[in-house]
Structure 1
């Protein structure tokens, strides 16, 4: 398996979970959210029943896939959306299918 395959697999694993897609949508609405802010918005707005520890694991998966970036503000860890992996997926692997069917 090449590095590109591994990267693609991490990205698809990250996108393959409903809670993680909701986290991405919330970060698309507003970047630079702390764990508490993001957790509260997801639970309140989407009714996701989740522990903060489980939620943190979702954030770690998204960070590993490169979909979120971390910034420290004092002792607070702020999470922001990084759309570059999704854009690369669209311009690369997904685009190859579009070109074949046009």
Structure 2
């Protein structure tokens, strides 16, 4: 993992909305944008537009924290913990 990838991961984790999306995908893997939006409303979180959540998902995807697959015409998002574990091994653990 290079320094740029490490920066993308920590930048993605810096936002509380993206951390909530990660938590939601960890609890219930393989969700569509609609399911993620509906889950945030059901949990009483501050309402965000589909476009805003889509932008957060894009940031998580660029950080390689999400795997994307397609079911018909629906994009399905799943959490990929491998880059997060690598970031912890490379940077966090050396400071703990």
TM-score (norm 1): 0.88
Structure with the greater relative contact order (CA < 8 A, sep ≥ 6): 1 or 2? 2
Which stretches in structure 2 are left out of the alignment for 5+ residues? Answer: none
Number of residue equivalences: 96
| Bigger radius of gyration among the two | 1
TM-score (norm 2): 0.93
After superposing on structure 2, the runs of 4+ consecutive aligned residues of structure 1 that deviate more than 4 Å are none
Which stretches in structure 1 are left out of the alignment for 5+ residues? Answer: none
Q: How far apart, CA to CA, are the structure 2 residues paired with 1:21 and 1:87?
A: 15
Instruction: Supply the RMSD in Å over aligned alpha carbons.
Output: 1.2
8 Å Cα contact 2:40-2:47 kept in structure 1: no
